[in-house]
């Protein structure tokens, strides 16, 4: 079991991908940072358009959104999924 598999299991069990750490980074943000497309797609499938719009505008303490960090780190598949 990988950390991505574990994250997906937690997500399926009802864990929120939007809770942030001390750097204002959610698990969704960190998935975008690391290019974890499977996790990103799972979150997108289960999140309403209204909530997603709000969450995608959230910024970590480095000032980046989930989309911005995916772009910066060159994760084009994640970027495409978010656009």
Average pLDDT, rounded, for the chain:
92
Give the residue, 1 or 14, on which the prediction is more confident. Answer: 14
What is the chain's length? 83
Highest mean pLDDT among 8-22, 42-56, 68-82: 68-82
Tokens read off for 51? 């909530």
Taking CA atoms, 80 is separated from 19, 21, 61, 63, 77, in Å, by 24, 26, 24, 21, 5
- Is the pLDDT at 1 greater than 70, yes or no? no
Q: Which helix (H) or strand (E) holds 73?
A: none
Among 44, 40, 32, 39, smallest CA distance to 75 is for: 32
């Amino acid at each position: 079991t990988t950390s991505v598999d574990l994250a997906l299991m937690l997500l399926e069990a009802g864990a929120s991908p939007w809770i942030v750490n001390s750097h204002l980074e959610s698990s969704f943000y960190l998935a975008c940072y690391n290019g974890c497309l499977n996790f990103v797609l799972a979150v997108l499938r289960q999140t309403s358009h209204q909530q997603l719009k709000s969450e995608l505008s959230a910024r970590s303490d480095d000032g980046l959104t989930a989309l911005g960090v995916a772009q910066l780190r060159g994760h084009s598949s994640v970027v495409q999924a978010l656009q």
